[in-house]
Amino acid sequence: MPDEEDRVNVTAQCMLHEPPVPVVVEDAENDGSKVTCPKCGKDYGSWGEVKAAMTEAATAQQQEKLTAPFQGLEGWKVTRD
Ligand SMILES: [Zn+2]
């Protein structure tokens, strides 16, 4: 069982619509299950593939968050008399 805090909070969406439509998976317990758009029927491949892509996106997001607070320090100088 994964920790609640470790869970990846990313939703895959079909970007062919405005606003984008969240995709659906036939069976979230089965990595081979198909992920499709409920609106246009586009096939996004297997759930396992989509999960891997979402995890990658979430990792990139977290890394951005970690570095964001330090961006304000750019341009500071330590001077010595
Ligand atoms: Zn769609």
Give per-residue pLDDT as tens, 35-81: 999 999 999 999 999 988 888 888 888 887 777 655 555 555 556 66
- Global pTM reads 0.62
How many angstroms does the Cα of residue 72 sit away from the middle of ligand 1? 39
Q: What is the pLDDT of residues 12-30, one digit of tens each?
A: 889 999 999 989 998 889 9
How many angstroms does the Cα of residue 13 sit away from the middle of ligand 1? 8
Q: Which two tokens stand for residue 20?
A: 């984008």
| Interstrand relation of 34-36 and 24-25 (parallel, antiparallel or unpaired) | antiparallel
Look at the alpha carbons of 62, 63, 66, 67 in this order and tell me if their dihedral is positive or negative. Answer: negative
| Interstrand relation of 13-14 and 43-46 (parallel, antiparallel or unpaired) | unpaired
Looking at this protein, which amino acid is placed at residue 13? Q
How many angstroms does the Cα of residue 49 sit away from the middle of ligand 1? 18
